[in-house]
Structure 1
Amino acid sequence: MEINDALETFIKQEIIEEKLDNLSHDEDLLSTGLIDSMGIMRIVRFIEKRFNMEIPFEDMTFDNFMTINNMSNYILKNSLKS
């Protein structure tokens, strides 16, 4: 899926400092400590630019940003509203 791949590439290249060959799209990025609050803010900016959407503050929840699949589902759900 294109959205998942774009998110995975961004996270691996721009957020996670350690080399990871494989990043599961279901991995809990927050609980594992792979991404912190600053990382989430960078991902939000990436999503807004890459997918031409605005993410309201109230949508910046753990549920929406816990995994790559959750982020992808959020993007798909909100792109359908436009």
Structure 2
Amino acid sequence: MLETELEDYIKRELLQDGSIEIIPHDLDLIGTGILNSLKIMELITYLENVQQVQFMESEISFENFNSISSITQLLNRR
């Protein structure tokens, strides 16, 4: 999955208020409040369905879902 696809999904589905036009790929999504535990679970469900991956429990961490770049790196390691 490309970083831009992930950015588009986050803006479209998780930030439905349109408050952010561009999300820097290294932005701390958790620290800024863009992602919380519920939104991370929504994102995981989306990624598992679209990317046809199954995340191991050990992979589901704030560190791996902290930024668009870290999520993309996680997917690329699979």
Contact kept? 1:16, 1:35, Cα under 8 Å: no
User: Whose relative contact order is higher, 1 or 2, with alpha carbons under 8 Å and at least 6 apart?
Assistant: 2
Residues 1:25 and 2:25 aligned together:
yes
Per the alignment, residue 49 of structure 1 pairs with: 49
Give ranges in structure 2 of 5+ residues lacking alignment: none
Per the alignment, residue 13 of structure 2 pairs with: 14
**Higher share of residues assigned helix:** 1
CA deviation vs aligned residue, 1:9-47 (integer Å, no higher than 9, x gap)? 110000013321111110000011111111000110111
The DSSP-based 3-state class of the residue aligned with 1:64 is: coil
Give ranges in structure 1 of 5+ residues lacking alignment: none
Per the alignment, residue 58 of structure 1 pairs with: 58
- Amino acid paired to 2:38: M
Count of residues in correspondence between the two structures:
77
The DSSP-based 3-state class of the residue aligned with 2:23 is: coil
Q: Which runs of 4+ in 1 moved over 2 A?
A: none
Aligned-residue identity in percent: 25
